[in-house]
Amino acid sequence: MELGKVTVSINKAINAQEVAVKEKHARTCILGTHHEKGAQTFWSVVNRLPLSGNAVLCWKFCHVFHKLLRDGHSNVLKDSVRYKNELSDMSRMWGHLNEGYGQLCSIYLKLLRTKMEFHTKNPRFPGNLQMSDRQLDEAGENDVNNFFQLTVEMFDYLECELNLFQTVFSSLDMSRSVSVTAAGQCRLAPLIQVILDCSHLYDYTVKLLFKLHSCLPADTLQGHRDRFLEQFRKLKDLFYRSSNLQYFKRLIQIPQLPENPPNFLRASALSEHISPVVVIPAEASSPDSEPITDLVEMDAASQSLFDNKFDDIFGSSFSCDPFNFNSQNGMSKDDKDRLIEQLYGEITALKEELENFKAESARGTVQLRGRASELEAELAEQQHLKQQAQDESEFLRAELEELKKQREDTEKAQRSLTEIERRAQANEQRYSKLKEKYSELVQNHADLLRKNAEVTKQITGARQAQGDVEREKKELEDSFQRVSEQAQRKSQEQAEVLETLKRELATSRQELQVLQGTLESSTQAGAEQSTRIASLEQERDRLSQAAEQHRDEMAALRAELQQLRDTLSHEQESSRTELEMLQTQLRDKESTEQALQQLLAKEQLSLVQGTIHEAKRMVQDAVARMEDPAHISCTGSADCLLSQTLAASECAERLRDAHSKYLLDGTAMNSLLPCLAPFAHLVSNTLLQGSATSHVAPVEPADRLLELCKQCGCEAVSYLSALQDPETVASADCSLVTACLSQISAIGEELRPRGLDIKQEELGDLVDKEMAATATAIETASARIEEMLSKARAGDTGVELEVNERILGSCTGLMQAIHVLVLASKDLQREIVESGRGAASPKEFYAKNSRWTEGLISASKAVGWGATVMVDAADLVVQGKGTFEELMVCSREIAASTAQLVAASKVKADKDSANLCKLQQASRGVNQATASVVASTKAGKSQVEEKDSMDFSNMTLTQIKRQEMDSQVRVLELENQLQKERQKLGELRKKHYELAGVAEGWEEDDSENS
């Protein structure tokens, strides 16, 4: 599929015309997501649309996006999660518009956000919510906690769907045929997707509620049933109204819900449940839409398994009516009538008593539910304000981070400029070295030229000497020729002087030889001079070549030097330009940062003032509620007042420290802001708790406590007003509020019950002693059970041995599970003390949390006592002197005691603690072991009763009649005893709760909450 075609279809589907989205355009968008395997193209087109400026455009966007989430590719959800916050902001923006499509867009955007969150938390659910029963079980992982949370999330999801349904219908004028107009169809078209979602959500909630009722007590799920009943009525009414509209009749077949809601208290009602199926006619369905399959009802096998599980938990009904006397032979009709009338009278009295009790419980439940709703509304409002403050803080923090990044970029640019300057300095140093090298080469070249001139002079002198020698040689040859001619002439002319001439000739010859030797030496010197001249010429040629090479090197160095000069000048120019640009950007960033810091300071100041205003309103509301006549019936305990007063005093100290920091540094608002809301909340709770405590206190302390609460509220309002005013913020003083809280705490100490108090310094030792005693009692009980098991194996045989082994084995398993739980409780208690005591000692921590410590001691005592009693009961059962019922009651009692120990240990534990997980796992092990003891006891009882089955084969008619009458008398006696024992049990429990309240400092939770 072409990307352009998808883009055009998206623009055609989401436009400003108030008509319904055409199916072909929506189909193309869905196919585009499957082809693209995501929704990038969809969001790239949507981000360019003015959704915040046109309500119709936003409404049609919601319709198309809902279709993509249901029928598009699975990656549509992953690509859309990043825009969840933008959808929330747009929803809040459209929520301020009360006319036209404003509220519709706001509610639809909330629905889409809820749908994305639901599918993100539960990835097993597809976008169209079509799942089988097996897949639904796998989604909860067969864990009752997961099913409980999943049901709550489905309720929230269905609530958003119903809100959109009701808002659309309330925006239409039903007196006219709006479903045939274009504007009406534009508003009604998205409801088809809503109807599809609601049908599946209703079916899944019904099945999950039946599953929860099979595993949990009915009282625990009362809130679930009330919420389901409300949604059932709304959904039934909306389905009925929708089915009457002409627009839906041709597009969708809407199912009708049953007349009455399912009865979750009756397990067999699940088989009567019929899953609602929405049918889209073939001519109205799109080719790309997936067929909506019918949800499969539970088959006979699963229903049988469900019924058996219900019977195992709540007990099966009797197969026969114990009050059916029609089969009693020999009894007169008057006796029967009189007995029936008597029983009917008792039943009527019991019904009236039950109705009165139910009415009283209903009134109390309604009051508590109203109070819980008010508190939830206040909590939601505070959470909304907190979320807004967090969003604004995150936005400002993001801008501050961006400024920091820009500053880091500026610092990087400065470092880059420094690096450029360093490189420029390195280039200048290199240029200086090259210049020195050039000067050295010039000097060498001048020396070579001078040496060449000297060699040339030497060659010229040698050539002149050689010419002189040749001239002397010629002169000698000429003189020798002349002497020879003279000798010849004299020999002819002077014969007489021959001897003299000979002697002169000899002398001349000797001189000639001398001259010849001189000539030879001159010739040899000339040859040496020629050789020297040749070597000097070679040296001159070599020096000429070296000089030429140096000239070439100098020319290359000059070219390189010129290139370096050009590069250096260019880099210096670019560095100068970049430096100027960076300095300009730095100045702009600094000015922008200063402006943003000023804006941040203003926003923080306005946020602080708004928070202070809300805090004042909370305290003023608390003071006003103290005067409210409806508050007079509220009561509270001194211990709860002390805990609230201590928390308020600590919060006031933190607020005082934050105020001091704020005075030292006017920008330190982050320390002041988080302390304001807790301060107002805790002071308000202290005032209301003080007023509630005064209602059950003596007259004089009650009057003083009430006056102090009013004074504390006035001082808190005055202090917050001083903090809100910039002129008086420096003089604001929290000491008056702290003093009032201290006086309230003193009166609370006076009102605390003193009867059963334990010395504070003994609490720490007493906890350790009780925990050690509990562990010792469990070990002793385990040893006794092992001893009894050995005796039973030695003395019993047959059925008795099998029963005793099974019962004692299950008791041993229970003791082991309790031992593991006690060890886990010790580890968790040690972790709580180490994490909560701070610099204080463990004894001081126990003394500070005395009520919690006393509850822990009471729970430990109950566990040790229960283990001892159960071992005694098991011993009597093995000996044949006890009853199986006593053993079952003891096992249930010890399970309740361990549950009390777990609850007391969990009060102050961290929810993410590994020791807490171990403790909860050990608690589940105790519950399983308790169930095993009860099951083995029941099985043993059944075997014994089968063994002792009655044999009436040898009895006569008269004997059988006599036995029958005795049995009837015994039945009546046992019924009367049962009634009396139940009344006695009720009175004993009331007295036990009263004594436990005095010992542990309990108060009614309802009074404290009110």
Amino acid at 665: D
CB 711 within 8 A of CB 692: no
Highest mean pLDDT: which range of 199-203, 643-647, 968-972? 199-203
The continuous run of DSSP H or E covering 492 comes out as: helix 333-493
Dig out the tokens for 124 from the structure: 């097993």
Tens digit of each residue's pLDDT (9 = 90 or more) over 190-210:
999 999 999 999 999 999 999
- Please choose, from the candidates 3, 4, 26, 1, the residue with its C-alpha nearest in 3D space to the C-alpha of residue 13: 26
CB 579 within 8 A of CB 417: yes
Amino acid at 256: Q
Q: How far is CA 263 from CA 210, 213, 233, 748, 928, in A?
A: 9, 10, 14, 48, 29
Q: Is residue 794's pLDDT more than 70?
A: no
Looking at residue 845, its pLDDT comes to 67
Between CA 947 and CA 945 the distance in angstroms is 5
Tens digit of each residue's pLDDT (9 = 90 or more) over 362-373:
887 887 887 777
Count other C-beta atoms under 10 Å from residue 897's C-beta: 23
Half-sphere exposure at residue 818, Cβ-oriented, CA atoms within 13 angstroms:
38
Q: Is residue 613's pLDDT more than 70?
A: yes
Q: What are phi and psi of 948, to 5 degrees?
A: -95, 30
Looking at residue 321, its pLDDT comes to 40
Write a three-state SS string for 703-755. HHHHHHHHHHHHHHHHHHHHHHCCCCCCCCCCHHHHHHHHHHHHHHHHHCCCC
Q: What are phi and psi of 287, to 5 degrees?
A: -65, -30
Looking at residue 781, its pLDDT comes to 73
Between CA 275 and CA 202 the distance in angstroms is 9
Highest mean pLDDT: which range of 717-721, 899-903, 942-946? 717-721
Q: Which of 301-310, 697-706, 846-855, 956-965 has the lowest mean pLDDT?
A: 301-310
Amino acid at 596: L
- Strand residues in 415-479 grouped as ranges (E): none
Burial class (CB in 10 A: 0-12, 13-18, 19+), 216: middle
Tokens 């059916």 belong to which residue?
324
Q: What percent of the chain has pLDDT over 70?
A: 80
Between CA 30 and CA 34 the distance in angstroms is 7
More confident residue, 66 or 868: 66
CB 786 within 8 A of CB 815: no
Tens digit of each residue's pLDDT (9 = 90 or more) over 10-65:
888 888 888 889 889 889 999 989 988 998 889 998 888 888 888 899 999 999 99
Q: Return contacts of 496-499, CB within 8 angstroms, 24+ apart.
A: none
Dig out the tokens for 69 from the structure: 């989430």
Between CA 84 and CA 116 the distance in angstroms is 8
Q: Return contacts of 848-854, CB within 8 angstroms, 24+ apart.
A: 849/908, 850/758, 850/760, 850/763, 851/639, 851/1000, 851/1001, 852/904, 852/907, 852/908, 853/763, 853/764, 853/766, 853/767, 854/758, 854/763, 854/999, 854/1000, 854/1001
Between CA 867 and CA 815 the distance in angstroms is 8
- The three-state secondary structure class of 51 is coil
Amino acid at 465: A
Q: Give me the residues paired with residue 279 across strands.
A: 253
Residue 55 CA to its chain's centroid (Å): 34
Looking at residue 62, its pLDDT comes to 92
Between CA 874 and CA 728 the distance in angstroms is 75
Between CA 718 and CA 710 the distance in angstroms is 12
b/e per residue, 503-522, with b = 16+ CB within 10 A? eebeebeeebeebeeebeeb
Q: What are phi and psi of 962, to 5 degrees?
A: -65, -45
Q: Is residue 340's pLDDT more than 70?
A: yes
Dig out the tokens for 618 from the structure: 């909370």
Q: What is the dihedral of CA 352, 353, 359, 360, to 10 degrees?
A: 160
Looking at residue 944, its pLDDT comes to 65
Tens digit of each residue's pLDDT (9 = 90 or more) over 593-607:
788 877 777 777 788
Dig out the tokens for 901 from the structure: 């120990």
**Over the Cα atoms of the chain, what is R_g?**
55
- The three-state secondary structure class of 796 is coil
Could you write out the DSSP letters of every residue in 77-107? Answer: HHHHGGGHHHHHHHHHHHHT--STTHHHHHH
Looking at residue 323, its pLDDT comes to 37
Between CA 720 and CA 724 the distance in angstroms is 6
Alpha helices for 627-637 (secondary structure H): none
More confident residue, 253 or 877: 253
Looking at residue 114, its pLDDT comes to 93
Q: Is residue 906's pLDDT more than 80?
A: no
The residues, any chain, with a CB within 8 Å of residue 511's CB and separated by 6 or more, are none
Q: Give me the residues paired with residue 253 across strands.
A: 279
Between CA 539 and CA 676 the distance in angstroms is 101
The continuous run of DSSP H or E covering 347 comes out as: helix 333-493
- The three-state secondary structure class of 825 is helix
Taken in order 627, 632, 634, 639, the sign of the CA dihedral is positive
DSSP 495: S
- The three-state secondary structure class of 279 is strand
Between CA 1010 and CA 1006 the distance in angstroms is 6
Q: Is residue 581's pLDDT more than 80?
A: yes
Please compute the mean of the pLDDT values over residues 840-859 and round it to a whole number: 66
Tokens 């922008």 belong to which residue?
592
Q: What are phi and psi of 253, to 5 degrees?
A: -105, 110
Task: Grade residue 798 by pLDDT with cuts at 50, 70 and 90.
Answer: low
Q: Is residue 900's pLDDT more than 90?
A: no
